[in-house]
């Protein structure tokens, strides 16, 4: 007789004690700032495509009275696309463990399915904030946000943009530059570029450490004169936080992103977002595969989804790259 590899059994469980509370706390945070902010839509296939277009630059438009018409060439829209990425979580629980009256119901199948679905949602956020170039074929990969942005960018020495390659139909990952501290000057630079490009940035998504650096902007000589005391009722409080930045080129809400705290490669970018130009499309929404065969004395389950990021126009987005995102030196 054989047990399927990785079957979770009573010998591995830690919650099967009657004296423990029947309340389970999920320590891992569920927040997914970018995914939660942007619109969702449905895709019809594994390679969604769309068109991007721009207005002509303003010009000195003066015509001669009585002049005959001449017609300029029409510039076609640019066709771009991404590839849907399959995301999957699974589990297998022995029949004995499933039947056990365990503390907090931690190992029960229903709870594990919910937990895996939450984890999938966080993996979507990871896909968005990573630096993954898009990949076609059977092991498809959705091009991450940083691989699309080429217009409103601040990078340090050695860094270079990726972008959409119309020849291959794939996005290209950017090249990292030397890391540097996040500053008000960097933020203002990207916001100014976005303003000139026609973007209306409303959100700034950063790693938790970069959010703590942003708060220190309050001591900048150009900001300090605009500070004011905040009332907190009867309690005396030390106010050392800021969630909104209003600069010369707009106002943005600042969102710390715990997913970006997972690695230096995720934390080095600060994304400026106009949600009108970004969405996530599902080809298959997160669901359970109901056709997983039951074999042996165990319950198996598979949770999966398939989707991709849709960048409607990269000029509506921005990135301050090559930042120290985890500490003052990394």
Across the chain, which has 330 residues, the per-10-residue mean pLDDT values are 76 57 51 93 97 88 92 90 97 85 67 88 96 98 98 97 97 98 97 96 97 86 59 65 92 96 96 97 94 91 96 97 96
Confirm whether 68 is domain-assigned: no
Task: Find out whether 84 and 308 touch, Cβ atoms under 8 Å.
Answer: yes
Range of the domain at 44: 33-48+78-224+240-320
Confirm whether 58 is domain-assigned: no
Confirm whether 251 is domain-assigned: yes
- Looking at residue 231, what is its pLDDT? 60
Task: Find out whether 297 and 5 touch, Cβ atoms under 8 Å.
Answer: no
Instruction: Centre a 10 Å sphere on the Cβ of residue 4 and count the other Cβ atoms it contains.
Output: 12
3-state secondary structure of 201: coil
Backbone φ, ψ for residue 306 (5° rounding): -145, 125
3-state secondary structure of 191: helix
Pick from 199, 28, 201: which is nearest to 123 by CA? 28
Pick from 122, 95, 124: which is nearest to 109 by CA? 95
For residue 38 the two structure tokens come to 């942007």
Confirm whether 231 is domain-assigned: no
- Looking at residue 48, what is its pLDDT? 97
Backbone φ, ψ for residue 134 (5° rounding): -70, 150
Pick from 131, 152, 128: which is nearest to 200 by CA? 152
- Beta bridge partner(s), residue 284: 306
Confirm whether 72 is domain-assigned: no
- Beta bridge partner(s), residue 160: 175
Q: How far is CA 55 from CA 99, 196, 201, in A?
A: 64, 13, 19
Instruction: Centre a 10 Å sphere on the Cβ of residue 173 and count the other Cβ atoms it contains.
Output: 17
Confirm whether 315 is domain-assigned: yes
- Looking at residue 95, what is its pLDDT? 86
Instruction: Centre a 10 Å sphere on the Cβ of residue 219 and count the other Cβ atoms it contains.
Output: 9
Domain count along the chain = 1
- Looking at residue 136, what is its pLDDT? 98
Pick from 87, 39, 34: which is nearest to 257 by CA? 34
- Beta bridge partner(s), residue 87: 305
Sorted by sequence, the CB contacts under 8 Å of residue 66 that are 6+ apart come out as none
Sorted by sequence, the CB contacts under 8 Å of residue 207 that are 6+ apart come out as 256, 257, 260, 261, 266, 267, 270, 325, 326
Residue with tokens 């409103």: 152
- Encode burial over 144-159: b for 16+ CB neighbours within 10 A, e otherwise: bbbbbbbbbbbbeeeb
- Looking at residue 121, what is its pLDDT? 92
Backbone φ, ψ for residue 190 (5° rounding): -70, -40
- Looking at residue 115, what is its pLDDT? 86
Confirm whether 302 is domain-assigned: yes
Confirm whether 272 is domain-assigned: yes
Sorted by sequence, the CB contacts under 8 Å of residue 318 that are 6+ apart come out as 149, 151, 152, 153, 190, 191, 193, 194, 199, 201, 271, 272, 273
DSSP string, 81-134: E---EEEEEEEEEEHHHHHS--GGGTTSHHHHHHHHHHHHHHHHHHHHHS-PPP
């Amino acid at each position: 007789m054989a047990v399927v590899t990785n079957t979770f059994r009573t010998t591995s469980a830690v919650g099967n004690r009657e004296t423990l509370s029947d309340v389970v706390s999920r320590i891992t945070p569920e927040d997914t700032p970018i995914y939660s902010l942007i619109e969702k839509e449905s895709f019809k296939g594994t390679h969604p495509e769309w068109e991007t277009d721009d207005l002509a630059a303003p010009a000195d438009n003066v015509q001669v009275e009585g002049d005959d018409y001449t017609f300029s060439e029409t510039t076609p829209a640019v066709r771009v696309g991404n590839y849907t990425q399959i995301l999957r979580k699974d589990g297998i629980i022995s029949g004995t463990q499933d039947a056990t009256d365990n503390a907090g119901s931690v190992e029960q199948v229903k709870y594990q399915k919910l937990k895996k679905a939450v984890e999938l949602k966080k993996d979507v956020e990871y896909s968005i904030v990573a630096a993954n170039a898009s990949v076609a074929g059977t092991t498809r990969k959705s091009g991450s946000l940083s691989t699309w942005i080429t217009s409103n960018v601040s990078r340090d020495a050695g860094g270079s943009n990726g972008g959409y390659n119309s020849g291959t139909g794939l996005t290209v990952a950017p090249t990292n530059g030397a890391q540097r501290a996040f500053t008000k000057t960097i933020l203002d630079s990207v916001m100014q570029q976005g303003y000139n490009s026609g973007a209306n940035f409303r959100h700034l998504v950063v790693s938790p450490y970069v959010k703590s650096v942003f708060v220190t902007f309050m001591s900048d000589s150009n900001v300090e004169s605009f500070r004011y005391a905040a009332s907190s009722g009867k309690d005396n409080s030390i106010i050392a936080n800021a969630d909104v930045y209003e600069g010369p080129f707009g106002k943005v809400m600042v969102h710390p992103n715990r997913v970006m705290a997972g690695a230096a490669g995720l934390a080095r970018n600060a994304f400026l977002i106009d949600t009108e130009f970004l969405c996530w499309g599902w080809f298959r929404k997160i669901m359970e595969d109901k056709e997983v065969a039951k074999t042996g004395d165990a319950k198996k389950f598979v949770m999966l989804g398939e989707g991709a990021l849709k960048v409607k126009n990269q000029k509506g987005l921005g990135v301050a790259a090559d930042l120290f995102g985890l500490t003052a030196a990394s």
